[in-house]
Structure formats: structure tokens, C-alpha cells
Amino acid sequence: MSSYRPEFSEAEQSRIDAEFSRLARNKSVYLDHAGTTLYAESQVTAAAEQLQRNVFCNPHTCRLTGDFVDQVRFKILEFFNTTAEDYHVIFTANATAALSLVAENFDFGSSGDFHFCQENHTSVLGMRERVRANGIYMLREKEISSGEPKANGKVHEVSGKTGNSLLTFSAQCNFSGYKIPLEAIEQIQIDGLAKPGKQLWGSVGERKENTHNDYYICLDAASFVGTSPLDLQKYRPDYVCLSFYKMFGYPTGVGALLVSQRGAQVFQKRRFFGGGTINYAYPHAMDYQLRETFHQRYEDGTLPFLSIVELLEGFRTLERLVPRTEEFSTMERISRHVFGLAKYLEDQLRQLHHPNGEPLVKLYNKVGYQDKSRQGGTVAFNVRTESGSFVGFGEIACVAALHGILLRTGCFCNIGACQYYLGLDEDALDAIYKRAGRICGDYFDLIDGQPTGAVRVSFGYMTTIQDVDQLLQMLRSSYLATKPLQRIQFIEEQAEQLPPLLKERVQLLRPKLLQMAIFPVKSCAAFKIESPGSWPLTDQGLKYDREWMIVDMNGMALTQKRCTELCLIRPVIKVDQLELQFGDNSLISVPLSLEDQAADSAKCVSKVCRQPVEGLDCGDGVAQWLSENLGMEGLRLLRQSGQRNSSKDQQKLSLVNQAQFLLLNRSSVRSLQFEEPLDETVDRFRANIIIDTGSAFEELTYKALSIGGIQFQVEGPCQRCDMICINQRTGERSPETLTTISRLQKGRMRFGIYITRIPPDTKELEPKEQHMTCGDVVLVE
């Protein structure tokens, strides 16, 4: 077990705590410093005093304001260990605006390409829409940081260059906190890229080696510089994009683009100019002249000068609260502090296990927490249940908020990193964003039990070890010491305290009825009802469920054990007919009305589970159709006409084997991990009611439940036979199905539960017909 060693002395920690006393007053734990860090109380007080003390006006009017703005430029350059001889400082609204400025003004020449890293903020992806490159390529992180040399020599040794290529990547991934080695900057500037990456746009089929291009680096440093030192004497990207609220918490709305002298040479003459960027512009002619100073040409309109001036106090606050030592600078100490907290949290999370030994969390990082030059103060993870299922990050956000813990969940505007760490292929992304309609910032957290995002905690210099321990205590108490139903009840009872979006997420905590399956003809395929569909109930169960069956020439019920092709007969319930289909063209219908059927049918008797069943023969036409399609002589279709009761409690039954309904939990099916679509595995179990609790085999503990207010009692688990080895879409057998269930259930063959509807307590002479609707909430007793 790793121990935590504090970076700050007791006196330093005491001064820092005093600056953020509002957290204690509000009983809040703040763990979203990658989103924005917090401002110190003395910082905003000093900024306000500065505004009260001085007269700041438009810098075009007031020299004092202009001098302050220039002072901030010099301070920024000093903070990143560089000078005005090496870098220009262009003020922007934020890092996104800085990236946009690079995209709009970088001169690609005739053959330059744009390359970006998969694990990038969406602002980098937005650059693709503005660059005027010859081709656009996506690189995986390892293709940037691997240090693999070009096969055909160094770029600077190649003559006849015709273009400039631009590579943009984040110094620190805002999803996981992973840091790309900054040594890659100089190597790519000199040697180019060994591989261009996956081509997304450009001439199809063109093989580009880009040996005739110069390479420039745009470094998205917004996440990195909040807690790590960036030395621009050691590492010299051509462009650096910053957001100062990530560093100081206040002010917002101001960032910067740092442009090296090399990078400035390939910035185009602007196609737009605004106030302050020009010496003159004629209204009567297409004639204008831009300012001589580089940064002035790109700062359109009046700068947010009050916010810029207040940056000075941000720098002073950092250096005052975390003073440099003989060995380490301010930012180096902050980096050591947040990395130590992240390492401690990661180690503690790895030790959290459910009683059965299953780990509580799944962590997302590349190199672990051994080297702070490769990993920042961020920990990304998802919580898992005892059965290994994932807990939705929306639920974690609710629980955290009710414990006063502020953290971030989702994909953090970095779908590429989400794709990488969650192992999502292109079809999975389409399922999440195109078919399911998920958007950035929502709490649509699970699809078929798989997470669409993660939980992220990130630290700042004001984060304490006690904050981390409170997070750990929340996870222990809520997910190791509390039953799921207790946790859900706790959230529901406190829901009014949550923000609006999380209130909406609370409504999704309870499992819901996902699907109903009616099996009109026993052992044949299902007729499915999905959201927002509804279906009536009868005394026997779902209306029309197992009301017909196929019998052989001896009057015995035909099942898939004898004839697997029965699953290929697909029923469709229409207004007044039951339509049966086999293959693409073979159709036949029988009346839905029992009275219509009885008017022209012979009575007969068969057996289901050794019980006699009174039925009506559905005629020669459908009998011949069945025999021809199934290849068996003497088949007949019978419809139940007489009442049948269970032997145990006299519940009314259709032609089912044991109980009115069979309920299945998709989470339990998911745990089987069959190499086939999940829906196909679900179909094998031929259940009437499909729910998803998020926890495998949870349903086996149920005693009673309600669905949409309709009460059910649990009759017990379903003991499985080899019927489930039959793929219900193809009729093919796969014996490993039973083997897998036996292994998971330690030799027992239980899967799904039988339930029976409790008749409504009503004195009405003609009680109303009850319906179940997909989407109905499932409440468990």
C-alpha cells in the first residue's frame, strides 16, 4: 500500500486552506480542476482593489491600461520561461479561440497536411472545418509519442519543399491525464512523421509520405499548464494554446495563443481585420494596412482588458501560496502535489473489492501513476457491481452531488479518448451518438450495459488528502456497504437537492420494462412489443400468449426439442387475424376471435406438462401449411378453449409450462458474453418480460415486484433445459449455452424467474382491462 507524502508544509497548507474556506462552509469537496480550478479569496479581493485603485479604460485611449496589458504579456512569457524574442502573445477568448486562430491562418502551401491526435478535445476536431490543408489525418497517440524515425530521412534534408504540415495534439489528455512526451515536438519538427495517420479527407487513395513538407506543432496546453510547468526554452512548439481560468479559476473569458518566431513565418496575411489590427482601411477603396506588431494584427477589436489586467493577480497568488524552493519551481511543486494525490487515489481504488472479490472500479490510464512526466493529477474510472456490470456514471454523479462532492462525468468533450479507453469501435460510436441520440454533457451513460463515458476526478493545488478520502468513503459506503435498492431510495428521497439534469437522471435509476414478447403459438417465434408499445393482460397472462400450439398426428404438442424449425415460424398479431409466416413468402392466417374460430372448428384434447388441455382444431388449411413448411406429416394447429389452472395455486394458465410470465434480466444475459448479438442471446430464453437492472442475476433474489403499478409475485427461478441452446433466428444449436450457465450458477441451471400477476383488488362487476407499457417502472419488494 502506497503512503501519501504531502508536498506542502503545514504552514503552507494552512495558508492555502484559509484561501478556500468557502468549501468548508458549503460542505463541498471540489474535484473538477481539469474543468476549471478554483480562485483564491485573496486573489479576487486584490483584483477588486486594483480596479478600485486605478482608472482603466480602453487601451486605445488610456496608456495606463496598455502598459498593464503589456506587463501581462511579459509575465506570461516569463512564466513559461521564454521571451518576446522567441514568442508572441496573442490574447484570445480561450484555448478554443486560439486553436481557431491557428486553423484560420496557418499557411499549408500547396501540399501541406493537417494531422491531429485521436485523443483530443473537440475544439481540435473543429480545426478540421477551417484548415485549408491538402489532406486531413488522424494520428493515434502512440504514432506521435513513439519516436519512430522516418524511413526516408530527415525532412530538413529534403529539398524542394512545397508545403507546411501542421500537427495538433494535447500536452495532457483531459480524459485520463496522460501526458504525451514533449520530446516528440522537436523530433517531428526535424524528422516529420513516420506515418501520416488515418486519412479522413483529401485525394482518395493518394499515398502521402509528406517528405517535402516542413512540420509545425500546435500544442493544446490548456489542461497541462493548470498543474504542470511548461518550459518553452526546453520544448519549442510553434503554437501554444491556453485558457487562464484553468490556471487561476478567475478571470474567465481570456486565453492566449503563443506563437514562436518560426510559427509566425507561416501565418497568412489575414482575410479579416477589426478595430486595433490596422493602421488604416479606406472605405472608398479595397486598401488597408495591418499593424506592424505581430500580435496586434490578430487581436480583433478591444481586448477584454479588465480580465487581462486581473491575470497579474492570478500569477502572484500562485507564487505566493506555493512559493518556489531551492529545488522546485511553483508549478513543479503543484505538479508533484496533484500527482501524489492521484497516485494515492489510484492505489486506494485498486484495493476496493466487493465481498466476492470483484474489483469496485475499472481504471482508465495508459502508464499508471509511477512517473509524473507521463501522468497528471487526474483519475478516470467507472464503478462496477458485484456481478461485474457497470454502474452508470449518471448515478455516480447523483450520489456524489448528494455527498457534496463535485466531479465530472461523461466523455469530457473528448470522444476520441473515450473511444480509446472504453474500447468503442465505429459502430459503437454510431449506436451511442446517431442511433441512441446521446449528446455531449448528457447523462445517457449505459447502452446494453456498456458505459458511454466515465467518472473523472482531477486535482488542483488546493485539493487535500481529506478531499480524496471523502471520495473514497463515498464509494465505500454507497457501493460496498449499501444494497442497490437502498442507494436508489436514498437518491430518490434527496432528488430535490440535485441540479435539473441530474433530477432527470434520477428518473432512470429504477429498472424499466424494456420489451414484451408474446408467443402466440407455443414453441414458435415471438411477436415483440417495444417502447412505447402497450399490451393488454388477461387472467392467464399477456393476451394471446401461448394460446395456440402445434400437435403431431398423435395429438402430442410439438416443441423445438423435436423440431428446431418451429422458431422460424414468425407470428404477427393483426386487428382480427393471427398471421403466420415461414420464410419470405409463405403466409397463412387464422382468426383472432375465439368465437369465430369456434364456429367452424372441431373440439379436441391434448396435453401440456401432463395436464389435459381442451382445444379447437384450426382446420385443414393451416394444418397442410404447417406440414409442408416443417416437413412433417399429420401436423395440426390447436387453440386453447378450456380453462387450465396451475396444480399448485390454481392460477389460470395458457399453454405455458409453469407460470403466467417468464421475466428475464438483460444484465444476466450480458454476463454470458456470447459471441453473438445480445438480442440473439436474449431471444434464446424466450421470456415474456425483459428488464435491465444493471446487475446480473439480481432478479434471482426477488420475492415480489410491480411493473407500472401491476403487482406480481415471484414463483421461483426457471430451471433451464437444452431449448436455450437453439438460436431462435437460425434454428442452429450451440450446446455451450447450458455449459456457460452451469459454470456461472455453480452447477445450477437457473436463468430468469417465473412470476404471476396478483389479481387486482376490485369490487367492480366488470373490472377494467389492465395494460403493461414498455417503459413502465419496475419496483422490487
Condensed to tens digits (0 to 9), the pLDDT of residues 485-542 reads 889 999 999 999 999 989 988 988 899 999 999 999 999 999 999 988 999 999 889 9
HEC assignment per residue over 736-766: HHHHHHHHHCCCCCEEEEEEEECCCCCCCCC
Q: What value does the mean pLDDT of the chain take? A: 90
Name the DSSP letter for residue 671.
Answer: T
User: Around Cβ 367, how many Cβ atoms within 10 Å?
Assistant: 12
Residue 351 has pLDDT above 50, yes or no: yes
HEC assignment per residue over 550-601: EECCCCCECCCCCCHHHHHEEEEECCCEEEEEECCCEEEEEECCHHHHHHCC
Percentage of the chain beyond pLDDT 90 is 67
pLDDT one-digit tens code per residue, 281-294: 888 988 888 888 88
54 phi/psi in degrees, rounded to 5: -115, 160
pLDDT at position 643 is: 66
Q: Give 154-157's long-range contacts (Cβ < 8 A, gap of 24+).
A: 154/190, 154/191, 154/192, 155/190, 155/191, 155/192, 155/211, 155/213, 155/214, 155/215, 156/190, 156/214
Q: Which residue, among 540, 563, 537, 538, has the nearest Cα to 550 in the 3D structure?
A: 563
Residue 596 has pLDDT above 80, yes or no: no
Q: Which three cell numbers stand for residue 58?
A: 480602453
pLDDT at position 147 is: 66
pLDDT at position 156 is: 46
pLDDT at position 126 is: 95
pLDDT at position 497 is: 92
pLDDT one-digit tens code per residue, 144-203: 987 665 544 444 444 456 799 999 999 999 999 999 999 999 999 999 999 999 999 997
pLDDT at position 653 is: 73
Residue 111 has pLDDT above 60, yes or no: yes
pLDDT one-digit tens code per residue, 56-81: 988 878 888 999 999 999 999 999 99
* Beta-sheet pairing, 213-220 with 163-170: parallel
What is the model's pTM? 0.87
Handedness of CA 309, 329, 184, 88 (dihedral sign): positive
Q: Which of 143-157, 274-288, 584-598 has the lowest mean pLDDT?
A: 143-157
pLDDT at position 638 is: 92
pLDDT at position 1 is: 46
Task: Report the range out of 412-426, 434-448, 454-468, 661-675 with the highest average pLDDT.
Answer: 454-468
Distance CA(519)–CA(662), nearest Å, equals 11
pLDDT one-digit tens code per residue, 741-769: 777 767 677 889 999 999 877 665 566 78
Residue 207 has pLDDT above 90, yes or no: no
pLDDT at position 609 is: 58
User: Around Cβ 27, how many Cβ atoms within 10 Å?
Assistant: 8
Catalytic annotation, residues: 413
User: Around Cβ 694, how many Cβ atoms within 10 Å?
Assistant: 21
Residue 50 has pLDDT above 80, yes or no: yes
Q: Which of 16-30, 342-356, 710-724 has the lowest mean pLDDT?
A: 710-724
As a whole number, mean pLDDT of residues 300-313 equals: 93
**SS3 breakdown of the chain: % helix, strand, coil, rounded to 5?**
30, 25, 45
Distance CA(269)–CA(179), nearest Å, equals 34
User: Using 50, 70 and 90 to split pLDDT, how confident is the model at 673?
Assistant: confident
Report angle CA 184, 185, 190 to the nearest 5 degrees.
95
